[in-house]
Chain A
Amino acid sequence: MNVIPQLILNSIIAGSIYSLIAISFSLIYNVTKFFNLAHGVLAIIGGYTVFYFAQILNWNIYIAITFGIVFAGFIGLILDKIIYLPLRRRKASNMILLVASLGIMTALQALLSILFTNEFRTLSRNINEQKIFQLLNGSLTQTQVIIIFVAILITIFIVLLLFKTQFGKAIRAISDDDEVAKIVGINTDKIISYVFFLGSAIAGIAGILMGFDIGIEPTMGLNLLLKGIVAVIIGGIGNVYGSVLGAFVLGFAENFSMWKIAGEWKDAVAFILLIIFLLFKPRGIMNK
């Protein structure tokens, strides 16, 4: 049996999830210039919110999904308002912001474990009833098709937002020079709060999609985030197209390596790729 078509499809699915995390992480990083380690756990919060409302309270699944996305965004916004913004106003260094985000990540992860235990949870009620699609001699589940479409839609949405709207241009201006952005009359704190909401909501979408595809557990946020960061660095920090490209390079590298070596090495492949890029192309593929 030829495994290559299936490997290609698996790579595209992984790349799609990574691209959602990479784009959303990148959005927040570009305006704040610090590595928000709590970002991955917000993806998982999105997933658990859907789990709680759809499977415990038996709400309509679409309402639960909407709620999950908004809730992840809202938590991101609140974290900015009560922790990151006061720290930025006190001129805290990026290292302090990073340590604060590490603390938040640990606390939120522990809270999820207390509320939902460390058991793996899947959001699909009838996992065996999913439609299977055949494509390029490989197969995809209905959820995986949705993952690919959502990743494409979100990428298009973000590109249009950043390049065609004043709000997006303000985000790019803050990313370029936040002091001058203030000088031209942009309320940078307000825009950064909106970016936290938007970025966290997109992370929430990634977490929800993962919950439907393979399931979620409280500690997987960090791993997901690290993959997003690797994708951002490979593609070129600050470049949206680069983040998406990096995500797919990572997805392909991980899945094709598993063809020849054991699956446990998947994460090692990601980080070896990261080290190679840091050594030989530290600005990433898209940045000159």
Chain B
Amino acid sequence: MIKKEILLQLKNISVHYGGVKALDGVNLELDEGEIVALMGPNGAGKSTILKVIFGLVPLHSGKILWHQKEITPITYEVVQMGIAFVPQGRRVFSNLTIAENLEIGGFIVDNKKELKRRIEEVLDIFPVLKRKLKLKAGSLSGGEQQMLALARALMIDPKILLLDEPSLGLAPKVVKEVFNKIKEINERHKTTILVVEHNIKSLLDIVHRGYILDKGKIVFQATSNELRQSDILEKVFMGKLA
């Protein structure tokens, strides 16, 4: 079997919020073309991992390697490297139209023709947005806003997509649709996806493997099948982990 290239590695990462340790010696790696889940109870540090990769939270110690080279993440440079982030809470630019949201998503794309091509490509994945391009993003439903946030992130044709709670606050039917889109993005573009999610049951259907975090530490990592069979998730969520 051909070993896939490691795109991103976190080595012994620690993050402090004031005096509180949010992450404590976290090691994680993302290979090309896989979907990886980050699971754990509230306050475990899942979102912090995404923010650290994206330069939104400073590192206390540890290293981040991109294609085996150490980097100091600065948000706009991380985007240029090919990492996109969809933050929690369907954060779209509500006063901008859908078309403008997509154009801004491709802010780093210099070529106008290329920008147009990418918008068409993204709309191909999210046809629901096509009919509403001139509407303000704030007028969309919750599910549509989440689709737009995903579509906007795809505008840079990312190598890695970081998703923070993409199902939060969405109806079950819409959640299924969002998860199908995540799978489609991964299969169509071979995009590596790191997803933080509470909706574990649905998530395990689409991910290749996962990490479980508790109190800022990675306590378990396994493939999705192993995670399904293991009782670790229950233990972590019920606070029964030794």
Contacts and interface: CB of A to CB of B under 8 A. Distances in A.
Interface of A: 166, 169-170, 172-173, 175-177, 179-187, 238
A177 B91 CA distance: 8
B93 A182 contact: no
B75 interface: yes
B156 interface: yes
B230 interface: no
B152 interface: yes
A184 B95 contact: no
A180 B56 contact: no
Contacts of B80: 185
A185 B96 contact: no
B87 interface: yes
Contact of B93 (A166, A177, A185, A238): A177
B12 interface: no
B156 A169 contact: no
A238 B76 CA distance: 25
Interface in B109-167: 152-153, 155-156
A185 B107 contact: yes
Given A179-B56, A183-B87, A169 B75 contact: no
Chain B, interface size: which category?
A: 20 to 34
A169 B54 CA distance: 22
B31 interface: no
B91 A185 contact: no
B223 interface: no
A185 B108 contact: yes
Contacts of A181: 93, 104
Contacts of A182: 56, 75-76
A136 to B, nearest CB: 38
A184 B79 contact: yes
Contacts of B87: 179-180, 183
B54 A184 contact: no
Contacts of B156: 185
A166 B105 CA distance: 11
A180 B89 CA distance: 11
A179 B54 CA distance: 12
Contacts of A175: 95
B95 A176 contact: yes
B225 interface: no
A187 B76 contact: yes
B33 to A, nearest CB: 23
B77 to A, nearest CB: 9
A196 to B, nearest CB: 19
B85 interface: yes
Given A183-B54, A183-B87, A170 B75 contact: no
29 contacts: A166-B104, A169-B100, A169-B104, A170-B104, A170-B107, A172-B93, A176-B94, A176-B95, A177-B91, A177-B93, A179-B56, A180-B87, A180-B92, A180-B93, A181-B93, A181-B104, A182-B75, A183-B54, A183-B75, A184-B152, A184-B153, A185-B76, A185-B79, A185-B107, A185-B108, A186-B76, A186-B104, A186-B107, A187-B76
Contact of B96 (A173, A186, A187, A238): A173
A252 to B, nearest CB: 28
Nearest to A189: B76
Q: Among the interface residues B75, B87, B108, B153, which one has the most CB atoms of the partner chain A within 10 A?
A: B75
Nearest to B155: A184
Nearest to B115: A166
B112 to A, nearest CB: 9
Contacts of B75: 182-183, 185
Nearest to A180: B91
B76 A172 contact: no
Contacts of A173: 93, 96, 104, 107
A181 B96 CA distance: 12
B103 interface: yes
A166 B108 contact: no
Given A170-B104, A185-B76, A186-B107, 20 more contacts: A166-B103, A166-B104, A169-B96, A172-B95, A173-B93, A175-B95, A176-B93, A176-B96, A179-B87, A180-B87, A180-B92, A181-B104, A182-B76, A184-B105, A184-B153, A185-B107, A185-B108, A185-B156, A187-B76, A238-B95
